[in-house]
Structure 1
């Protein structure tokens, strides 16, 4: 038996139409179901699903992030492999597209559990992870105007994914 749980964020506005997010989430679920049915590992599926959420710009994570009070885009991600109890994370990562890919690299390629700030960015660069060329064009600020982010405050949030594979 396999299972997949996705979380696209919290703090929805009652009057907002979320048809795009629902359609995208459905497409992610269907793609990841196919990966699991084909024998994909839970960890690979979790990362792939999260990349799809981050890249969409629809959720308050990855491309959908908003800047901090200093105007910088600092992204966080973490993941854990329940079977091996290995974990990896990045915090305040700047300049790179998919923080979950960086977190996976921390887990797979270092003795650390978390890298933060400049160290996380230098590691991502060293690992050849995909940089963001033009932050103004890349980020969509998906959380602006949500009920849990009153005007003039920071938009923040996350996405989540939990996967159970055949193993």
Structure 2
């Protein structure tokens, strides 16, 4: 009998020790950095880009300009696609893709940035990591050639999320990023747009009854570039860059550098980049709202994007669009304007490019 009791005691002791070891092992696993999740790789990935939304109509677009926009969109998205296809991260794909768009005078970001009321160029950008929910953003820089690279540096190499103005530029210099003379951002067509807007503004000041619709005036609030991506490790990322609104004053900042409004990424739901009337996208927290609808309401990315862009934002009085991709690789390009420069590629390499609503 004593031998049986002793044997039972030993078994119980061994069982307790084993349970403790399992608990310790589980505890240790939970404490491992999120990077462990990157060890799992699949062939599923996707990338979507935009170059701004607005009154983009085929009747107003010359064949040469249409070809130029399509060519630049294709060039940019293929840079990101190649990064993803070779196992690169979604963050790298987003950063490098947006850099291509920033370097083009076709889009209101980087080289093609619009002018403020004072005839200067003030740039904003942001980027977000869906795996860690870390983010970086900047507002009101005038000498940083590629704002998206500065946003990435803020995220990776500073304890902050957003920097602005001269402080952001000082940080960029310390990080060895390329700085340029403000004249680098000058483009004649953007300056002429500013002068046109100012003349229209002056005319309306003296003639309050004027109600003539002018698409070039209406669309001065639009113009952004963005990218969202899902990599083979299942990580999402989003980034957005802009020159803001033509004729903006007083250091105005739109939704682009605001995490949750212009940019948001979360591996549990989706990655979103916005383009539109920034004041309304800030009030609606558009990018995060789409993610929240998926998380809390359990609806699809397509349903969430449609709810926000086709219903919520118009009810506030705003317009624009978004691009997004979810954790399963589903891609969405939703907008309520006449057009949006956009492109997408899936893991199979299927490329879609659109400019107008009917495409």
Fold agreement, TM-score > 0.5: yes
- 2:98 corresponds to which residue? 50
CA distance in 2, matches of 1:154, 1:27: 26
1:92 matched to 2:159: no
Which of 113, 123, 139 is matched with 2:186 structurally?
A: 139
- 1:138: how far off? 3.9
CA RMSD of aligned residues (A): 2.2
Contact 1:66 1:156 in 2 (8 A): no
Q: Which has the larger radius of gyration?
A: 2
Aligned to 1:60: 108
Whether 2:67 is the aligned partner of 1:29: answer no
Distance 2:114 2:188 in 1: 5
Q: Provide the TM-score with structure 2 as the length reference.
A: 0.43
Question: Which residue number in structure 2 is paired with residue 4 of structure 1?
Answer: 47
Corresponding position: 1:16 with 2:61: yes
Give, in angstroms, the shift of residue 45 of structure 1: 0.5
Note the C-alpha offset of 1:23.
1.0
Query: Does structure 1 residue 163 correspond to structure 2 residue 236?
Result: no
Contact 2:121–2:182 (8 Å) recurs in 1 = no
The size of the alignment, in residue pairs, is 164
The structural deviation recorded for 1:26 is 1.0
Distance, in Å, in 2 between the alignment partners of 1:68 and 1:142 is: 14
The 3 A distance-change label for structure 1 pair 138 and 91 is closer
Q: Secondary structure at the match of 1:10?
A: strand
Partner-residue secondary structure (3-state), 1:40: coil
Does the residue aligned with 1:56 lie in a helix, a strand or coil? coil
Work out whether residues 106 and 113 of structure 1, in 8 Å CA contact, stay in contact via their aligned partners in 2: yes
Larger fraction in helix: 2
Distance 2:76 2:146 in 1: 16
How far residue 154 of structure 1 moved from its aligned partner, in angstroms, is 5.1
* Shift in Å, 1:157: 2.1
User: Which has the larger share of strand?
Assistant: 2
- Shift in Å, 1:30: 2.1
Unmatched 5+ residue regions in structure 1? none
Q: TM-score, normalised by structure 1?
A: 0.88
Corresponding residue for 1:79?
127
Bigger CA drift: 83-92 or 20-29? Answer: 20-29
For each residue in 1:86-110, what CA deviation from the matched residue of structure 2 results, as whole angstroms up to 9, or x when unmatched? 0000000111100000111100111
Query: Could you say which structure has the greater relative contact order, defined with CA pairs below 8 angstroms and 6 or more residues apart?
Result: 1
